[in-house]
Amino acid sequence: MAVNQDVQSIEETLNKTDFGHVVNENKVAILISAAVVVLGIIVYSVFAYMQKSERLDILDQAYALETSVFEPFLKDELAPLEYKKKLGDISNDLRGNINLVPSFLAGLNKLDQAGKLDSAMKDMTADWFAKMNQGSMGRLFLGLRLSAIYEDSGEVEKAITLLENFANDSNLSLMQDKVHFDLVRLSVQMKDTKKAKQYFEKLKSDHQGSQFFKYAKVYMSGLL
């Protein structure tokens, strides 16, 4: 009985003001809204926890690959054929993982030096590149390596297209002198004088103090 009286007293007090009257008239809606907010907070908390758990799981898997695949190969404890097989078995979730890119690049260089950088590794590199976040530095470095692989395999147009994407990305400022130098060099190689001059002028206006500008002048010496 005392509880009912207290509730009635609260309602009477609320009704003495316009705001309180509105609260009384919409008690059910307000309670439902509050419940929705609380439920939303709970769902968000669970989702955030799951995301954190997934990230930690990915990091654990990346570390396992680092120690069981990349390190042994780079230390000559794993043969190239076995190394490439293990790379092919990596799950999609880990391909292009930014934590593994430095070791992946080191592995590419080691395979290249041994003359074992084949078309399968080229395709794998392209796959890793495609899975990386746009605008990341890791993606830029992997893309530059991929463009060199394309060039070495005679796919110069693919290399140019890849480099042009970097040149046109306003979010990327790092290594733009290298990107434009490669575009000058490859355009000269493809006998595309118009593009070669275009990229050279960009290099001249934005990176005249760069060593790559000096290299570009050598390539352009017969065209200027």
- Give residue 116's pLDDT: 95
- At 92-146, the pLDDT tens digits run 989 999 999 999 999 999 999 999 999 999 999 999 999 998 878 899 999 999 9
CA 221 – CA 205 distance, rounded (Å): 17
195 pLDDT above the threshold of 90: yes
Residue 7 has pLDDT above 60, yes or no: no
CA dihedral (124, 127, 132, 136) in degrees, to 10, reads 70
Domain boundaries, the chain: 2-174
Q: What is the token pair recorded at 209?
A: 């103090």
- CA 51, chain centre distance (Å): 18
Give the model's pLDDT for residue 174. Answer: 85
The pLDDT of residue 35 is above 70: no
The tokens for 25 are 């008239």
**Closest C-alpha among 201, 123, 190 to residue 161:** 190
48-62, 76-90, 100-114, 135-149: segment of lowest average pLDDT: 48-62
19 pLDDT above the threshold of 60: no
Model pLDDT, residue 135:
77
User: Which is more confident, 185 or 48?
Assistant: 185
